[in-house]
Amino acid sequence: MQTTSQLHPTYYFSSRRSSIRSNSSMKLGGWNSSQLGFTGRGQSLRFLTPIHKTRLFVISDADDGHAYAPVLEEDSNTNHVPSSEPETFFSKWSPPKYLWRGLSVLVLAGQVIIQTLKGKVHWRNTLQQLERVGPKSVGVCLLTSAFVGMVFTIQFVREFTRLGLNRSVGGVLALVFSRELSPVVTSIVVAGRIGSAFAAELGTMQVSEQTDTLRVLGSNPVDYLVTPRVIASSLALPFLTLMCFTVGMASSALLADSVYGISINVILDSAQRALRSWDIISAMIKSQVFGMIISIVSCAWGVTTMGGAKGVGESTTSAVVISLVGIFMADFALSYCFFQGAGDSLKNCV
């Protein structure tokens, strides 16, 4: 088979608008052409080529004595060969941000449980986070609980005095604080103070690629960053709740005695008659669950942060909001499970 240079071809370029001819012919696909052919002395070769809308110009003064056709311009509407893989709906679909972040919370919770059961806990970091969540949060939690207790005392004393139920004020306050107010108020304060800090810290580490550095150094970010925070929050919240309950009841008794003339002994005796051990246990269980929700949501929002400083701010705000919503939802579910049917706690303090 002879090569093209041996055939001494001249070229023929065809299109709808113009053409250039010579003795022998070579056809290049124009607008409608789909074949490229070489015609020589008694021999011909044809094969299919892709269709491109290309304008070609022949320049005859080449160094090797043969004409060549450089491509000077190519139309933007080029006909490409169709892809072998057809596009589907899911090829361009990406899950919404709230969906994959919600799934990341479940995945992170599972990893924390597995690593804790295996004993892979960074205890030094856990103690540091425990000090941060517990002792450094006591002041703001107790102050908030004291004022909440005094506000509820004002409302209860005003209404119960008209009904002649002064001896029931302490019991009602004790039940409200132990079952609902103390764990919820403490968790809200911790979510605003500690949950936002967790999300901001881990978000900054994520956007600055510090978590990738931990992986390069052979450390698991879940073991080093997430698990200590979850354990610290779960252990510190029950004790903070118990302290908030004590301070709330003390502030209520002082206000009732000093302003409304109801003796402190009456308030405390009524509270003792109404309270049961299960009320305190349920409050500590609730606070422990709330601590896990705050820490896991905040850490999950932190490690999924994108977009630099703006993304860190958005993740911090969103983590606090989602934590509060999770606290209220969990509070309803736990209260429904713990306190079913008619109660008789106030019978002894009427």
DSSP structure string for 123-140: HHHHHHHHHHHTGGGHHH
Output the CA torsion sign for 202, 205, 209, 213: negative
Task: Report the pLDDT value the prediction gives residue 249, as an integer from 0 to 100.
Answer: 92
Average pLDDT (5-10) is 43
Which of 79-83, 132-136, 163-167, 285-289 ranks highest by mean pLDDT?
285-289
Lowest mean pLDDT among 52-56, 143-147, 227-231: 52-56
Secondary structure class of 41 (helix, strand, coil): coil
* Residue 186 or 339, more confident: 186
Tokens describing residue 146: 């004291």
Task: Report the pLDDT value the prediction gives residue 212, as an integer from 0 to 100.
Answer: 83
Average pLDDT (79-87) is 53
pLDDT in tens, 310-345: 889 888 999 999 999 999 999 999 999 988 766 666
Q: How far is CA 319 from the centre of its chain?
A: 8
Task: Report the pLDDT value the prediction gives residue 34, as an integer from 0 to 100.
Answer: 43
Task: Report the pLDDT value the prediction gives residue 246, as an integer from 0 to 100.
Answer: 93
pLDDT in tens, 193-205: 999 999 999 999 8
Tokens describing residue 193: 């103070």
The alpha-carbon radius of gyration of the chain (Å, integer) is: 38
Task: Report the pLDDT value the prediction gives residue 263, as an integer from 0 to 100.
Answer: 86
Lowest mean pLDDT among 79-88, 101-110, 253-262, 329-338: 79-88
**Would you list the domain boundaries of the chain?**
122-338
Q: How confident is the model at residue 159 (pLDDT cuts 50, 70, 90)?
A: confident
CA angle 234, 238, 239 (to 5 degrees): 115
pTM of the predicted structure, to 2 decimals: 0.70
Secondary structure class of 61 (helix, strand, coil): coil
Average pLDDT (118-137) is 89
